[in-house]
Chain A
């Protein structure tokens, strides 16, 4: 593919990024992100961890191209996601905190949404959507409207919608936080498997240490206003003792 990132080049690169809400000099101005530097390698699964209000979602929105940084540069696959917004069509997909399914579309039509934006023919996109729904255990529910599905099923439809476009970069904003622990655990495992199988670069926002350890192969802990307080990488070979030590360290950083 022409849009693939060259070896060694960061898939996501944030350089001295700040975001201030409200006008400069205004008393109500709020600095959500302050001079953040962050690089995410292609194929990496980065979990961004932090307390509520630490700027996680602002970083997420800047990487997604939905918010413009006040200063500094954000580059995704070497391009500015805010000004080159349309260029990222089909190259970046988002799984949101709540499922955000269109209520007037069936499960199948919701999964087709991203493919429709890419201009794929109706029959082809139906086949792809069907395949993803089946892969996520939703065979037989293709024509159900969102109100007829459980919370877990709806979130699976939204994951299918994100994966169906075959985007290289996946952004996830606490996608399992509204689900019960058992459903969340199952979906988390499915999600990690799909990301690894498909070689995606993923940024996963969470406020749960356990979730970050389950999902990421790198964890960045943010402190308000969105500054990196702890950055650790690990892999499948990392033993339980080392993981426990990472967990303790994260707990200390968050409590500090």
Chain B
């Protein structure tokens, strides 16, 4: 056998860091292209159409450093998370009921499908007519717009659980609590995280609509102010706050996935 000459450590480290830099450059490339195009456009168009991204950057710093403005960002984040948590809890319970009873499934499925067809703006109008409190209105809108997706996703995950594994766990006679902890929760966790990822994007769009119409603070409210002032740099800076938030939460969810699902086999050949 011709023995392969082992690569020296320094050479292996160099090839590893080259791979990391290449990966980073590949993922950053689309953003760099968009930024360059925007900045190029800002040289030829008026500020209210394409403001310089340097202006936008300083506006972002203003938002971060001003307590009052950052409170608006936090208010929006709170509304998104509260709405998603509410929809997840209600949707999870509905999914459990639906998977246990065919009659409940037959009753609730058409209602949830109907809800899916109602535009977010309609829920905003209904909430304004039905309720007084601003926060409750926004919470209601967030829950109603994300509830069907959460319910159907959790329901799908519950139905897709392996019958073989369920029977195996049942053979040890678990209590309901232990069955949930050792079997149901780990089995549906991947779908739950996917549901959160999908609904997070939806919720961050819906919350702006809800705040535009019915709130006296938050990113949506601030965007309305920028529109009235024709301030594109401000509108972009406030929009970026939501983008940053979504990116951070998506990153956290990906981190949880990478840690929680390390048991999964990875094929060397991709699909």
Interface residues of A (CB under 8 A from B): 64, 66, 85-86, 88-90, 92-94, 96, 98, 100, 102-106, 113-114, 116-117, 145-148, 165
Q: Does B268 contact A (CB under 8 A)?
A: no
5 additional A-B pairs beyond A102-B165, A104-B261, beta carbons within 8 Å, are A66-B167, A86-B173, A92-B171, A94-B171, A116-B182
CB nearest to B165 among chain A residues: A100
**Bound-state Cα–Cα, A117 to B167, Å:** 14
In the bound complex, residues from chain B placing their C-beta under 8 Å from that of A64 are 171
In the bound complex, residues from chain A placing their C-beta under 8 Å from that of B183 are 102
Proximity string of chain B (161-194) to chain A, C-beta cutoff 8 Å, 1 when within and 0 when not:
0001101111111110010001100100000000
Contact B264–A117 (Cβ < 8 Å): no
Q: Does B263 contact A (CB under 8 A)?
A: yes
Most buried by B among A64, A117, A145, A146: A117
CB nearest to B168 among chain A residues: A100
**Bound-state Cα–Cα, A165 to B173, Å:** 12
User: Which residue of the partner chain, among A85, A116, A147, A165, contacts B265 with CB atoms under 8 Å?
Assistant: A147
In the bound complex, residues from chain A placing their C-beta under 8 Å from that of B178 are 116-117
Contact A165:B172 (CB < 8 A) given known A98-B164, A103-B263, A103-B264: yes
**Bound-state Cα–Cα, A146 to B162, Å:** 16
Interface residues of B (CB under 8 A from A): 164-165, 167-175, 178, 182-183, 186, 261-265
Instruction: Return 11 A-B CB contacts under 8 Å, by A number.
Output: A94-B171, A96-B168, A100-B168, A103-B264, A104-B261, A105-B263, A113-B182, A116-B182, A117-B172, A117-B174, A146-B263
CB distance from A107 to the nearest CB of B (A): 11
**Bound-state Cα–Cα, A219 to B170, Å:** 28
**Bound-state Cα–Cα, A239 to B175, Å:** 48
**Bound-state Cα–Cα, A93 to B174, Å:** 13
User: Which residue of the partner chain, among A66, A148, A165, contacts B170 with CB atoms under 8 Å?
Assistant: A66
**Bound-state Cα–Cα, A66 to B169, Å:** 11
CB distance from A86 to the nearest CB of B (A): 5
**Bound-state Cα–Cα, A103 to B161, Å:** 12
In the bound complex, residues from chain A placing their C-beta under 8 Å from that of B165 are 100, 102
Contact A88–B173 (Cβ < 8 Å): yes
Contact B168–A85 (Cβ < 8 Å): no
**Bound-state Cα–Cα, A192 to B178, Å:** 32
User: Which residue of the partner chain, among A102, A103, A165, contacts B182 with CB atoms under 8 Å?
Assistant: A102
